[in-house]
Chains A and B, each alone.
Chain A
Amino acid sequence: MAQLLYGGAGVVLFALGLWAFLVYTPLLRKLIALNIMGSGVFHLLIAIAERGELPPDPVPHALVLTGIVVAVSATALALAMGRRLEEDEGGR
């Protein structure tokens, strides 16, 4: 039951993030939307790691950790590029 709740919440988060990414134009909102989409996928992965009596499956956990690192670096690069654009526009 808890598994379904977490997994379902993950899919809802993904859909919300996708909607916000497509609808809003400001860079910051797009980035937050992407991160929410990512959290949705991570939610789903953590939910499927549960195996009842057995200890949780370690593979999805490893995937989520790697995914978080990737998401942080991607966000940082996008923010740096966005700041560069803002500085250029401000300097004109």
Chain B
Amino acid sequence: MVDSLALAVSVPLVGGLLATAIPKRAQALGLLASLVAVIAVAWVLVGVWQEGSLRSELGGWAAPLGIALVADGLSAALLAMAALVALGVGVYATGYFRRGDAAAHFWPLWLLLWAALNGLLLAADLFNIYVTLELLGLTAAALGALTGSVEAVSANLRYLLVGLLGSMTYLLGVALLYTAHGTLDLGLLAAVIQPGPVAASALVLMTAGLALKAALFPLHFWLPPAHANAPAPVSAALSALVVKAAFYLILRLWLDVFAPVVTPWAASLMGLLGAMAIIWGSWRALRSERLKLLAAYSTVAQIGYLCLFIPLLQALPPGSERDDLFVALVLMALTHGLAKAGLFLAAGLVQRDAGHDRIDDLGGTAQNMPATTFTIALAGTALIGLPPSGSFIGKWILMTSAIESGQWWWILVILVGTLLAAAYVFRVLSRAFNLEPTPRRFVTQARTEVPALLLALASVAVLGLAADSLWRLLGMGEGA
């Protein structure tokens, strides 16, 4: 029997290998593999939708020797988001990389990154997470340095080193857990883990390592240069997916595996770091001179919002309120992934059209590239959290829970962050509309502009209006 979980990992992997072997056909092979991989992910999604969760033991070998893949609502939702972004990035890349050389290098690395990402989201044990995390870091750093400019290579070399430091720290945490409990399986660990010095140090080590990779404040210093100097399709994937993968692991550890170990103080510390990330990231985004740097700092702020959920989720007892809050968290993550991918793709087009991406000199962008400006506005809507975007619902539930659990101070942070986000989005738009409005054509290059537009549109319209199905997918609030 063919296994949808294994396909979701192996299709991009095989596509990447084929693209390496036949560089002349890399683009056609890459697109084909992307399409098949999207179908495989859709299959996983349907399976999770019908059965709640899927598990498969590769080759029939059970744990501890075998490798198991698991999909639940959370991983299926992120898989689907990754597949959408990957499809958009793939189509965009066919129009973005004109020289054959860059395309030949882009496709193998990109498909390998996608395979690593799917493997990470489906991994059922801590060590496979380590391997996929390393693969993700290596391919991301190599992709980011694809332009070969000194800034890009040095920023991504730093990203690579920081990522290695993060995964080594994570691995030490894994070693501690294996010493104490003799298992690496996430489900088994969650059942046996006890509060104590070993579990606490493992949690601290693993969280610190992952926080480095997720660019959680104050460990975000490597992100803005690395993401701002990468080629546009790569920055989109890095900001929307790779950073989110590390955060997904933090979430898994804090909410599933280490749930009995996490104290209110530790959860509040994560919330505090998140709050600082929101303020600092939004402020730096407002002060950025370049559009791509603005988008990168906005990612730092958005990771902060996701961290704000942790103290509230920890404080609420299991029940429908906590379920709602969890879905809101996933909704925020999905919205940001799609919106940020759209924003970075659009920023790449602006940079190519104008020859630079200095925000102050972007006058006339709205006339030259109406569709791209519309994309930036739509993505901005989602980043601010205006209705009907998914992040509007996410922020709404976040603020409601903050009041209900008596942690009202987080609301101040959300308000300041939202105001700053509105300021930095409108700063770009006001520059773009600088000239007399006489747009000639709405779409100038369909192959690159349409994927960006659709991703931004999905973050605003689809996720906002069809948020209901996310509750069902995550198996929560049924009958409500």
Contact = CB atoms under 8 A, between A and B. Distances in A.
A53 interface: no
B178 A48 contact: yes
Contacts of B153: 81, 84-85, 88
Contacts of A48: 175, 178-179
B467 to A, nearest CB: 39
A39 to B, nearest CB: 10
B165 A21 contact: yes
A69 to B, nearest CB: 9
B453 interface: no
B157 A78 contact: yes
A44 B172 contact: yes
B150 A85 contact: yes
B144 to A, nearest CB: 10
B178 A74 contact: no
Nearest to A21: B165
B161 A78 contact: yes
A21 to B, nearest CB: 6
A70 B134 contact: yes
B260 to A, nearest CB: 23
Contact of A59 (B134, B138, B161, B178): B178
SS class of chain A's interface: helix, strand, loop or mixed?
helix
Interface in A6-57: 7, 14, 17-18, 21, 27, 30-31, 34, 37-38, 40-41, 44-45, 48, 57
Nearest to B141: A77
B138 A77 contact: yes
Contacts of A58: 65
A57 to B, nearest CB: 8
A88 B150 CA distance: 7
A85 B145 CA distance: 11
A85 B148 CA distance: 9
Contact of A74 (B127, B164, B175): B164
A35 to B, nearest CB: 9
B172 A78 contact: no
B206 to A, nearest CB: 12
B231 to A, nearest CB: 16
Interface of B: 64-65, 127, 130-131, 134, 137-138, 141-142, 145, 148, 150, 153-154, 156-157, 160-161, 164-165, 168, 171-172, 174-175, 178-179, 182, 184
6 contacts: A34-B165, A44-B179, A74-B137, A77-B141, A77-B160, A88-B153
Interface of A: 7, 14, 17-18, 21, 27, 30-31, 34, 37-38, 40-41, 44-45, 48, 57-60, 62-63, 66-67, 70, 73-74, 77-78, 81-82, 84-85, 88-89
Given A14-B172, A60-B175, 10 more contacts: A18-B165, A31-B161, A37-B168, A40-B172, A41-B171, A58-B65, A59-B64, A66-B127, A84-B148, A85-B153
7 smallest CB-CB distances across A and B, nearest first, come from: A81-B157, A48-B179, A70-B134, A37-B168, A44-B175, A41-B171, A41-B172
